[in-house]
Amino acid sequence: MNLIEKYARLVKFSHTIFAMPFALMSFVYAVKTSPEDSNFSNPYWWVKLLVQVVLCMVFARNVAMGFNRWADRKIDARNPRTATREIPAGVISARAALWFVVANAVLFIAVAASINWLTAALSPVALLVVMAYSYCKRFTSLAHMVLGLSLAIAPVGAYIAVRGEFALVPCVLALLVMTWCGSFDIIYALQDREFDKQEGLHSIPSKFSVKTSLNISIALHVVTLAALAWFVYLMPQSVWVWIGAVIFAAIIILEHILVTPSRQRNIGIAFGTLNGLASTMLAVFVIIGLLTA
């Protein structure tokens, strides 16, 4: 296993698919709604910004997951499900993982600072949020929502990178992401319910029954779908946007059909495959709708 592969596995790089599509949606929306005089007569003015946004996404993701793996290394070593992760398994040392986090944090701030003054000012705040999540389960069952907030930064940050200001649409998209992520993280946490109880760790599943936990997850996804409807309403009207929204909603519903109190073996499919597909499909159709509007 080469070095790049080791660190890609450390931070679960494939899970970038959860937040990246929402950042891209927000980016394209910001570009398409930018004033005519913002392109300085250069039709490709957005290319550099896109590279910067993608780099920020990658660096922030590396900080969040790298720090999480470092902070949880001792807990992971005691949990049979996570004992094979890179740090407890000795594939990557704790010190090397921490240096990886520091390097990516510096790169994130540097790239964010090169975009505009607002992204520069907010970059340390973003890092604080994504790193704080790692300690939340030690004292609050709302850790799932902090994780959701970490991902929700993506669409707002992408919009600010282009326009240098806040706006309603990316904030609605952030609400969608926060509740969507918080909900599926509750489902994911069902796998560690008994372990978390033994360790005194806080989560919705460790505090409530499996049935109640899944009902809370459903309630959060109801908010997600309401935010999705609001988002579609605010978008330039296009059949493509509606197709993407319907597919996203259908996948969310399917997730709760597959995972029930008596059928938890589908958690892996619901968490990784379905949510990755949902975010990708929504992004593809919304971006097509924006580009053809």
Q: Does the pLDDT at position 38 exceed 60?
A: no
Mean pLDDT of the chain: 94
Q: Which of 268, 270, 241 is nearest to 253 (CA)?
A: 270
Contact (Cβ atoms closer than 8 angstroms) between residue 136 and residue 146 = yes
Q: For residue 226, what are its two tokens?
A: 């309401």
Among 191, 66, 73, smallest CA distance to 127 is for 66
Give me 291's structure tokens. Answer: 């580009």
pLDDT of residue 7: 83
Cβ neighbors of 77 (< 8 A, separation 6 or more) are 83, 88
DSSP string for residues in 136-194: HTTT-TTHHHHHHHHHHHHHHHHHHHHHSS--HHHHHHHHHHHHHHHHHHHHHHGGGHH
Cα 50 to Cα 29, 30, 214, 280: the distances in Å are 12, 11, 37, 18
Range of the domain at 37: 3-292
pLDDT of 1: 56
- What does pTM read for this prediction? 0.94
Rg (CA), the chain: 19
pLDDT of 173 reads 98
Task: Give the model's confidence band at 284: pLDDT under 50 very low, under 70 low, under 90 confident, else very high.
Answer: very high
Reading the block at residue 241, the tokens are 């946007």
Q: Give the residue from 203, 65, 72 showing the smallest Cα distance to 139.
A: 203
Q: For residue 266, give the CATH number of its domain.
A: 1.10.357.140
pLDDT for 31 equals: 94
The mean pLDDT of 32-58, rounded to a whole number, is: 84
**pLDDT tens by residue, 155-197:** 999 999 999 999 999 999 999 999 999 999 999 999 999 999 9
Structural domain total, the chain: 1
What pLDDT digit, counting tens, does each position of 13-25 carry?
767 888 999 999 9
What 8-state DSSP symbol labels residue 42?
-
Q: Residue 8 pLDDT more than 90?
A: no
Phi then psi for 115, rounded to 5 degrees? -90, -65
> What's the pLDDT at 54?
96
pLDDT digits (tens, 9 = 90+) for 53-79: 999 999 999 999 999 999 999 999 999
Give the chain's end-to-end CA distance (angstroms, integer).
46
Share of the chain above pLDDT 70, in %: 97
CA neighbours closer than 13 Å in the CB half-sphere of residue 244: 25
Residue 59: exposure state from Cβ atoms within 10 A (0-12, 13-18, ≥19): buried
Q: Which of 28-37, 39-48, 132-141, 161-170 has the lowest mean pLDDT?
A: 39-48
Record the tokens describing residue 27, joined without a space: 């980016």
For 264, which DSSP code? Answer: -
Does 36 have pLDDT greater than 80?
no
